Chains A and B, each alone.
Chain A
Amino acid sequence: MREEMRRDDRVFVMGEDIGARGGVFLATEGFLQEFGERRVIDTPLAESSIAAIALGAAMHGMRPIAEIEFADFIWPTINQMVGEAARVRYGTNGKMSVPMVLRAPQGGGVRGALYHSQSVEAFFAHTPGLKVVTPATPYDAKGLLKSAIRDEDPVVFLEHKRTYRLVRGYVPDEEYTIPIGRADVKLEGQDLSVVTYGLMLHHCIEAARALESEGISVEVVDLRTVRPIDRETVIESVRKTGKALIVHEDTKAGGIGAEVAGIIGEDAFEYLDGPVTRLAGPEVPPMPFAPTLEAEFMLSTDKISAAIRRLAAY
Chain B
Amino acid sequence: MIIELPQVGESVTEGVIGVWLKSVGDRIERFDPLVEVVTDKVNMEMPSPVSGTLTAILAAEGETIPMGAPIAEVQADGELPTDAGDTPDSPAAVEPSPDRIGSLLTDVAPVGPTGSGGPISATPPPKPARSDQPRRYSPAVLRLADERGVDLERVQGSGIGGRVTLKDVRSFIEQTIQSPEPSADAPPAHEERAPLSPVRRMIAANMVRSASEIPQAWTLVEVDVTGLVARRQAAREEFQRREGIGITYLPFVIKAVAESLKENPLLNSSWDEDAIVYKRRINIGIAAAAPDGLVVPVVHDADTMSIVGLARKIADLTARARRGQLDLEDVQGGTFTLNNTGALGSVLSQPLVNHPQAAILTTEAIVRRPAVVGEGIAIRSMMNMCMSFDHRIMDGAEASAFINSVKARLEAVGPDTGLY
Contact = CB atoms under 8 A, between A and B. Distances in A.
A211 B3 CA distance: 32
B139 to A, nearest CB: 5
Interface string B85-96: 110111110101
A169 B102 contact: yes
A126 interface: no
B104 A164 contact: no
A162 B90 contact: no
B377 interface: no
B105 A111 contact: no
Given A271-B139, A295-B122, A302-B124, A112 B129 contact: no
A298 B122 CA distance: 9
B269 to A, nearest CB: 53
B115 A273 contact: no
A25 interface: yes
B264 to A, nearest CB: 62
B306 interface: no
Contacts of A296: 122
Contacts, number: 146
A272 B140 contact: yes
A165 interface: yes
Given A169-B101, A170-B99, A203-B104, 19 more contacts: A110-B110, A110-B112, A111-B112, A137-B102, A138-B102, A162-B111, A165-B105, A167-B103, A169-B99, A202-B102, A206-B92, A206-B104, A210-B92, A242-B138, A242-B166, A296-B122, A306-B124, A310-B126, A314-B165
Interface string B134-147: 00001111010000
Nearest to A209: B92
A24 B113 CA distance: 9
A165 B138 CA distance: 43
Interface string A285-314: 000000100111010111101100110011
B395 to A, nearest CB: 60
A22 interface: no
A112 B102 contact: no
A168 B110 contact: no
Interface of B: 84-86, 88-92, 94, 96, 98-105, 108-117, 120-124, 126-127, 129, 138-141, 143, 159-160, 163, 165-167
B106 to A, nearest CB: 9
A181 to B, nearest CB: 19
Given A210-B91, A210-B92, A274-B138, A302 B122 contact: yes
A137 to B, nearest CB: 5
Nearest to B163: A314
Contacts of A186: 101
Given A111-B112, A116-B114, A242-B166, A166 B104 contact: yes
Interface of A: 24-25, 109-113, 116, 136-140, 161-162, 164-170, 186, 191, 201-203, 205-207, 209-211, 242-243, 269-274, 291, 294-296, 298, 300-303, 305-306, 309-310, 313-314
Nearest to B120: A295
A292 to B, nearest CB: 9
Contact of B114 (A113, A140, A210): A113
B355 to A, nearest CB: 42
A314 B159 contact: yes
A182 to B, nearest CB: 14
A209 B129 CA distance: 23
Given A191-B167, A302-B122, A314-B165, A169 B103 contact: yes
30 contacts: A111-B116, A112-B112, A116-B113, A138-B102, A139-B101, A161-B111, A164-B111, A165-B108, A165-B110, A165-B111, A166-B105, A167-B102, A169-B99, A170-B99, A170-B100, A186-B101, A191-B167, A206-B104, A210-B92, A211-B89, A242-B138, A270-B139, A271-B139, A272-B139, A272-B140, A300-B121, A309-B86, A309-B89, A310-B86, A310-B129
Contacts of A25: 111
A-B pairs with lowest CB-CB distance, top 7: A169-B102, A273-B166, A110-B112, A139-B100, A273-B140, A210-B92, A110-B110
B90 A210 contact: yes
Nearest to B113: A116
Contacts of A298: 120, 122
Contacts of B127: 310
A230 B100 CA distance: 20
Contacts of A112: 112-114
Contacts of A313: 84-85, 129, 159-160
A228 B165 CA distance: 32
Contacts of A191: 167
Nearest to B98: A170
Given A137-B100, A298-B120, A270 B86 contact: no
A291 B101 contact: no
Contacts of B163: 314
Contact of A162 (B102, B110, B115): B110
Nearest to A303: B124
Contacts of A166: 104-105, 108
Contacts of B123: 302
A271 B143 contact: yes
A312 to B, nearest CB: 9
Nearest to B124: A303
Nearest to A208: B92
Contacts of B138: 242, 272-274
Contacts of A111: 110, 112, 114-117
